[in-house]
Chains A and B, each alone.
Chain A
């Protein structure tokens, strides 16, 4: 289907609806992750307001989990913000790639839906069968995923406070279990992922013995060294991705 610009304009509600439908699987996938974030934010002694604010303002799962672990480790504000930035530089690639298909929309509209770019919304939008990704499609997609993220962060926080203290103590592992759960499936498929994670882990363990590098700066430094050197040694090692 190749709609002319006029037809495209008429079909805006249909695109919005398609976006919402495409967003539903993401929303379902976000529920447990957002719920766990709320639970962990409670364990990290954030307030409900701070927890929900972070989900509303940042909307980036991995960064929000990292922020919690850095807050627990008493990292400073500059380390937290810099780590978040480094973590999210990868969105440059997704934004650039979406631009190829969304160029017809006005700048202000693109500025709005840029906020909703995550690994998941990008993957769904980029693989959608529509020839042109319209603003209303991306807004429908993004808003469904986003609302679910924000609401379930709050639900997780509130339900966390009802748990017994001994159970809350063993929840210190939850953040790390989450990272392991994100890493292992990728590592099973790729030697490069194993090399990246292992070298950054070893570097950060060494850096943690240096008082000045303890916490955030050690994480930044070991991440950058690993990402750059592994790229140098294992470039083109992966079949795809």
Chain B
């Protein structure tokens, strides 16, 4: 993958730019059906769920518990409304501490 990664990045850039640009530059009518609008608004939350599970449980192939502990730490920190970077750092440090147990 590595040598073609830059072309994947260019492809990602193109497909990111197209939805940003089309309505602003080319479309004349911009009335999407409300049902379609609703589905588009749903996408970010659905994709987050799919990204977290089951991936988080397999970050250590030998133990589901490892990823589970890290996810729980992140969940608690996020529940307390901590800043994103604090959530990320606290789950890293919880797992770092766990490896010494």
Contact = CB atoms under 8 A, between A and B. Distances in A.
Interface of A: 32-33, 35-36, 46, 49-50, 53-54, 57-60, 62-63, 66-67, 69, 71, 73-74, 76-77, 80-99, 102, 107, 110-111, 113-115, 117, 166-167, 169-174, 176-188, 192-193, 196-205, 208, 218-219, 222-224, 226-228, 230-231, 235, 241
Contacts of A167: 92, 96
Nearest to A241: B41
B67 to A, nearest CB: 7
B12 A181 contact: no
A107 B52 CA distance: 40
Interface in B38-77: 38-56, 59-60, 67, 70-71, 73-75, 77
Contacts of A113: 24
A49 B78 CA distance: 32
B14 to A, nearest CB: 8
Contacts, number: 279
A105 B47 CA distance: 35
B42 A227 contact: yes
Nearest to B51: A179
B9 interface: yes
Contact of A96 (B27, B60, B70): B27
17 contacts: A32-B85, A53-B6, A84-B16, A86-B43, A88-B16, A89-B40, A91-B19, A91-B20, A170-B95, A173-B67, A176-B55, A177-B74, A181-B84, A201-B53, A222-B46, A223-B46, A235-B35
Interface string B70-101: 11011101110111110110111101101100
